[in-house]
Amino acid sequence: MSGALTLAVFHRSRDVLRVLAPLRRTPHLRVKCVPQGAVPRIPSNATGVLWELGADDDVDRRHLSRVLNGVPSASFGAGARQVADLSRALGFRHHLSVPLRLAEVERALGLPGEHDLSERLTTGADRLTELAARADVIVDVMRVLNLSTDPAMVASTLSARVSEWLPMASWSVVAVEADGSVQFLASRPQDPALRGPAEAIADVIAQREQPFVSARLAGDARVGEHIEAAGLGWPIVAHGVVVGVLVGIDHGRARTAPRFSPAFKRAMTRLLEPAGYALAHALRVARAEALSVTDDLTQLFNSRYLHEVLRKETKRALRSHAPLSLLFVDLDGFKRINDAHGHLLGSRALVEAAALIRGSARETDIVARYGGDEFSLVLPDTTPEGALAVANRLRDRISRHVFLSDRGPGIRLTASIGVATMPEAADTAEGLLEAADTAMYRVKEEGKDGIHMATRGAVSRGLLPVQQKEEGAR
């Protein structure tokens, strides 16, 4: 971190790290936190000082003046009027509100412009040009980016490598789908607050297929993000198609309008060429894998993936002695929809049912279409009582839903649900699936529209009795 500025922050509150978070993410800026003790001392290499004030402070102005000793300084804290008045009384020219932002700190302390994005792009062009001319650098980029076919891993590796070439507060990689939509993949360092701006910049580039740069995102109508930051974006191209976007963001606005020089453009294009092919390949693999485990009609997981997940979760549950539950769901009388309305509307009804089932499950649950009008839910770390609660919620939602409501009065359906939990009902993936399936058929035999809980070697009646309803197909 050669040539970095050092900022000494004298604090009185415990949440100072949260207040300083934007500054601590800034490249080329060291932030040293110093408690306001009896004998506070400024680090010898401090470029500026920030002093935290509160309404109840009784700091002596002469003592404070001796501590600061002419080092550029400003106060910060809650923006109450009395605190700002106290700041002026103590001799500070500026009082900053929290959280602290680089742009305001620079103005208050009069720090030199080492953080200006425009200057960084100008000086960075020479280094990028040098790197782009080296065959060993290009070969190394190709090597590290092709170590994995996971798009997120490729994106993370690329973000890390680019941050070495041109330091910024955050570098992100966003994938561009065939329809022009964007999908965030990874960032270095991870900062959830910058995900939205990164996706907004990527969306602009996906539409225009041109590099992007902005001195202040908060005032840039192209992105519509209210964040005091400067940003740039670069298309990642493979075979003439934009497959992703590299986004760099710096906290605080740039002092002058940043521009890409011809040398910068040539170097970035050359350095990111291997990234385009690596990311395109990883995205193709991921999409192919997604298709292989996804049901075409409902977009739920398919039975192939269900069996794979069930085997893995069974092993994990045995290892950790944790419960694992499985629901097997069959839509009662669904054949009548196909017979009365045709397979096209039957498929629409299945899509509606899939959405209801997915919405009834929790985020950690795996929902799959097993085949026809049968569905399965894998519930990790779920006891029999928890599984019955999910089944109850699912059965209720299906019975209350009006299917194909745009077709006259619509259609009502019910569900027969079998529930099995490991280790109570089985201790293998196959045994658990068989137990849930058998429990579901027990519901069918006893009149449909109900829930049964399986036990080892038998099936016992669940908490909900098998009911016969006048409405809905049987």
Residue 320 is inside which H or E element, if any? helix 303-320
Quote the CA–CA distance of 152 and 158 in Å, as a whole number: 10
Position with higher pLDDT, 128 vs 194? 128
Q: Which amino acid is at 213?
A: V
- Residue at 82 is within a domain: yes
- 82 and 138 belong to one structural domain: no
| pLDDT average, residue stretch 262-279 | 96
Residue 216 lies in a domain: yes
Give the mean pLDDT of 170-177.
95
pLDDT tens-digit readout, 47-60: 789 998 887 788 88
Q: 168 and 76, same structural domain?
A: no
State whether 267 and 415 are in the same domain: no
Within this chain, do residues 456 and 311 fall inside the same structural domain, yes or no?
yes
pLDDT band at residue 471, thresholds of 50, 70 and 90? very low
Same-domain pairing of 78 and 159: no
Q: List the beta strands (DSSP E) in 177-239.
A: 182-188, 212-214, 229-238
In the predicted model, what is the mean pLDDT of residues 197-211?
94
Residue 472, in any domain of the structure: no
Q: Look at residue 241 and give its three-state secondary structure.
A: strand
189 upstream amide cis, omega within 30 of 0: yes
What per-residue confidence (pLDDT) applies to 7? 85
How many other C-beta atoms lie within 10 A of the C-beta of residue 326?
30
pLDDT band at 113 (very low <50, low <70, confident <90, very high): very low
The last residue of one of the domains, among 232, 260, 293, is 293
CATH number for 53: 3.40.50.2300
Structure tokens at 53: 């004030």
Does residue 3 carry a pLDDT above 70?
Answer: no
Residue 141: band (very low, low, confident or very high) from pLDDT cuts 50, 70, 90: very high
* Buried/exposed code over 240-266 (b: 16+ C-beta within 10 A; e: otherwise): eebbbbbbbbbbbbbbeebebeeebee
Alpha-carbon span 222 to 245, nearest angstrom:
16
- Mean pLDDT throughout 185-214? 91
> Does any domain span residue 243?
yes
| pLDDT for residue 355 | 95
Mean pLDDT (whole number) for 405-434? 90
Give the residue-averaged pLDDT of 138-152: 94
User: What is the percent of the chain where pLDDT is above 70?
Assistant: 91
Q: Which two tokens stand for residue 264?
A: 């910068």
Which structural domain range is residue 71 located in? 5-109
Establish if 469 belongs to a structural domain: no
Distance CA 251, CA 23 (A): 8
State which of 293, 328, 354 marks the end of a domain: 293
Asked if pLDDT for residue 243 goes beyond 70, the answer is: yes
More confident residue, 252 or 275: 275
Helix ranges (DSSP H) in 91-215: 102-109, 117-132, 135-145, 151-165, 195-208
Total domains in the chain come to: 3
Out of 98-107, 202-211, 273-282, least confident range: 98-107
Determine the average pLDDT of the residues in 180-184.
Answer: 92
Residues 320 and 218 in one domain: no
pLDDT (mean) for 257-285: 94
Q: Are residues 265 and 357 in the same domain?
A: no
Are 126 and 248 found together in one domain?
A: yes
CATH number at residue 286: 3.30.450.40
Helix or strand (DSSP H, E) at 246: strand 241-251
Whether residue 156 lies inside any domain: the answer is yes
Indicate if 69 and 17 belong to the same structural domain: yes
Q: Token match 């485990």: residue? A: 293
Q: Report the mean per-residue pLDDT for the chain.
A: 86
- Do the strands 374-380 and 324-332 form a parallel or antiparallel pair, or are they unpaired? antiparallel
Among 92, 109, 126, the domain boundary falls at 109
- 241 and 265 share a domain? yes
Q: What is the CATH number of the domain that holds 340?
A: 3.30.70.270
Does residue 185 sit in the same domain as residue 234? yes
Given this model, what pLDDT does residue 123 score? 85
What is the mean pLDDT of the segment spanning 341-354? 92
| Residue that wins the pLDDT comparison between 115 and 164 | 164
Model confidence band, residue 104 (pLDDT cutoffs 50, 70, 90):
confident
* Residues 140 and 247 both lie in one domain: yes
Q: What is the mean pLDDT of residues 24-48?
A: 75
pLDDT over threshold 80, residue 199: yes
The answer as to whether 474 is a domain residue is no
Q: Which of 342-346, 404-408, 431-435 has the highest mean pLDDT?
A: 431-435
Q: Picking from 39-48, 81-90, 96-105, 443-452, which range would have the lowest pLDDT averaged per residue? A: 39-48
Tokens of 385: 């009582």
Lowest-pLDDT range, 172-186, 333-347, 448-462? 448-462
What is the pLDDT, as a whole number, of residue 465?
A: 40
pLDDT, residue 151, reads: 95
Q: Give the pLDDT confidence score for residue 184 in this predicted structure.
A: 95
| 73 within some domain | yes
